[in-house]
Amino acid sequence: MMETTPKKSFITMDMMKGSILGAAKKLNPLYMMKNPVMFVVEIGFLLVLLLTVSPTILGTEAGPHDRLYNAIVAAILFVTILFSNFAESIAEGRGKAQVQTLKKTKTVTQARVLLADGSEVMKEAHELTKGEIVLVYAGEVIPNDGEVVDGIATVDESAITGESAPVVKERGGDFSSVTGGTTVTSDWLKIKITSLPGESFLDKMISLIEGASRKKTPNEIALNTLLVSLTIVFVLVVVTLYPMTVFLKVHIPIATFIALTVCLIPTTIGGLLSAIGIAGMGRVTQFNVIAMSGRAVEACGDVDTLILDKTGTITYGNRMASEFFPVQHVHQKELIRAAWLSSLTDDTPEGKSILSLAQKLSVDASDKETIIQSSEHIPFTAQTRMSGLTMPDGTTVRKGAYDTIKNESLKAGYPLPEDLEKLVHQVSSAGGTPLVVAKNSRILGVIYLKDVVKSGLKERFEQLRAMGIKTIMCTGDNPLTAAAIAKEAGVDGFIAESKPEDKIQVIKEEQALGKIVAMTGDGTNDAPALAQANVGLAMNSGTNAAKEAANMVDLDSNPTKIIEIVEIGKKLLMTRGALTTFSISNDVAKYFAIIPAMLMAAIPEMDVLNIMNLASPTSAILAALLFNAVIIPLLIPVAIKGVNYEPMSASKLLNKNLLIYGLGGMITPFIGIKLIDMILSPILPMIGL
């Protein structure tokens, strides 16, 4: 299941007022030209409005009630355009609500700039340039994005990420990058500014949510081309109908031809297309992810291969004690007691997990404090590769690597237990790390340290597999350990003992097969692979090199979020496809409402096509036109929230969409137009139509 975000009301009163005003502003023809389908509707509206003012201005005959009919058609067309603009404004309005929250963090910040001679000068944040060094003390706001060059401090990033716990930032490594607008909560940092004013991650996030820098994606451009082509075809069809009616000597108002055009062209998807794209970007930002472009979000929906780092993504990263295996002739209680003693002063996650497991198995811990205070602590080092205690009576307990403890035992003159190697191999082949325990150099058994796979991931990978997405795990572990973890996690493949160049190689191999590849990373060594991948998700806690190479940045620094991002991309593409299917299916149904109504007077045989049994030609045309207008706002929640998405293969997804949105899109207009016709039919004669 996709992780949940806090529920917010779909639209507030302030948002409603702003959206109505925004819809009116978008009536500008120069703006409407960006949406060719709705631009045709606006031209139709202006022509019908002109005919309302002067019914004979185009040299056509005008009946006594044509002015009223034209006025009603013009009003419906105007409402259709407003509804289309309203859909886009609603999507923008929801984004702007996020923007206001982010802009609160963009206060006028004073920066303490260090000059080459060691002196300081105060500048405003917007005056800073790349490469300048600023000094930020506890309680001060970091003025712009940068890299820590000196100092160590905790930074409150809640203004950006929503995470309340401060993050430790220091020079070097993967936690040296800082974001403008966050606050230093302890000590001090010297920061090298890495972005120009107005180009920070916060600025990019604000501009993308507002839609100021949202460019149409390739799929969106392709769909626009299809919609324009359909519009041109239907305009030509209607234009050819006019001389036919003249030849048949049938009087059909120009407004009816314009109504037919508007009903047949794909106005529903034309009116909702921008809203779908803006809402897709909004859903990504709600997950605290900055997408550098709409193309990146859309590419997520096309991902075929997902490359995931093992540590921190698939596993928790800390090895946890899972089981104690005593050697022959040693009782398990003796092994548990020795393992517990060796870990009493071990503050590592592994040591704490050994204590926890021993306590679950009822170890005698009554003398814990006495032992800690009176014993000598032997810490783990890279040279000794073991740790433990030396007790006051000279008793030693040690745990450590197999080779180290084995050599210590042999030196003391103890023979190796016959089943020791078997136990060590058993743990290693299961993907774990064996820690050998000895008391007074006599080997007692093996602790099974397990790299714990995150709960629920296996099910998530099964969902991805159902979508046709292949998962590949990258790890520095040996092939035996990697294979065991890959099997437990349920990934489709793995790369053991992987180096940065191995990640690039597998990405290139997948791309050579025509696959779209996504991966996550946070270090400088991940930057080349993030740049090579079609979708690169960098962690905000990572280095600037990684963030600059990627086309998405996760402000929460949660590596598993790539799975949610892929699902959001899928949902965006599915929503666009579903509503396009619904829109085109709508047009088929509207054809059966208007064409028979237009031509029944001249060709009585056309009544056979009047399968909806509409009351009159006028009510049929106005009912179809009204349905065409009303369906747009009714679909706004679907366009913005997205259609419900369930992981499944592309063929199953297509069949489901055709059934729900294809067949549903064909049936809905029949019901809607008939209901509107039933309402209009008694009213129209009363007003002379």
Q: How far apart are CA 537 and CA 297, in angstroms?
A: 11
Please choose, from the candidates 612, 590, 608, the residue with its C-alpha nearest in 3D space to the C-alpha of residue 600.
Answer: 608
Question: Is 66 one of the annotated active-site residues of the chain?
Answer: no
What separation, in Å, do the N-terminal and C-terminal C-alpha atoms of the chain show? 55
Asked whether residue 526 is marked as a ligand-binding residue, the answer is: yes
The dihedral built from the CA positions of residue 381, 384, 387 and 389, taken in this order, carries a sign that is: negative
Distance of CA 559 to the CA centre of its chain: 12
187 known member of a binding site = no
Rounded Cα gap, residues 301 and 568, in angstroms: 7
Is 346 annotated for ligand binding? yes
Q: Does the annotation list 522 as a binding residue?
A: yes
Q: Which segments of 550-602 are extended strands (E)?
A: 552-554
Per the annotation, does 385 bind a ligand?
yes
HEC string of 435-492? EEEEECCEEEEEEEEEEEECCCHHHHHHHHHHCCCEEEEECCCCHHHHHHHHHHHCCC
In our burial notation (b when 16+ CB lie closer than 10 A, e otherwise), range 7-30 reads eeeebeeebeebbeebbeebeeee
CA 271 to CA 82: how far, in whole Å?
A: 9
Give the separation between CA 20 and CA 90, rounded to whole angstroms.
9
Catalytic residue among 309, 451, 554, 677: 309
- Structural tokens at position 449: 């340290």
| CA triple 101-105-106, angle to 5 deg | 115
Q: Categorise residue 405: left if φ over 0, alpha if ψ from -120 to 50, beta otherwise.
A: alpha
> Tokens 């806090």 map to which residue?
6
Nearest 5°: phi and psi at 615? -65, -45
Q: Is 106:118 a contact under the CB 8 Å cutoff?
A: no
Under 8 Å between Cβ of 325 and 445: yes
Tell me the pairing of strands 552-554 and 535-539: parallel
Dihedral over Cα of 644, 645, 648, 650: its sign: positive
- How far, in Å, are 99, 126, 192, 217, 282 from residue 199 at the CA level? 16, 10, 15, 22, 20
Instruction: Name the DSSP letter for residue 660.
Output: I
Please give the structure tokens belonging to residue 167. Answer: 């993050």
Q: Is the dihedral of CA 595, 599, 605, 608 positive or negative?
A: positive
Q: Is 597 annotated as a binding residue?
A: no
Report the b/e string of 93-128 with b at 16+ CB within 10 A.
Answer: bbbbbbbeebeebbeebebbbbeeeeeeeebebeeb
387 Cβ contact partners less than 8 Å away, ≥ 6 residues apart:
342, 346, 351, 378, 379, 380, 398, 399, 400
| Cα–Cα distance measured from residue 38 to residue 43, given in angstroms and rounded to the nearest whole number | 9
Annotation-wise, does 383 bind a ligand? yes
Q: Are strands 376-378 and 517-521 parallel, antiparallel or unpaired?
A: unpaired
Q: Find out whether 386 is annotated in a ligand binding site.
A: yes
Q: Would the annotation count 556 as a binding residue?
A: no
Q: Does residue 382 have a known ligand-binding role?
A: yes
Q: Which residues contact 392 (CB under 8 A, 6 or more apart)?
A: 374, 375
Residue ranges of the binding site for Mg(2+)? 522, 526
Point out the annotated binding site for ATP: 346, 350, 380-387, 399
Binding site membership: which residues?
Answer: 346, 350, 380-387, 399, 522, 526
Q: Which residues are identified as catalytic?
A: 309
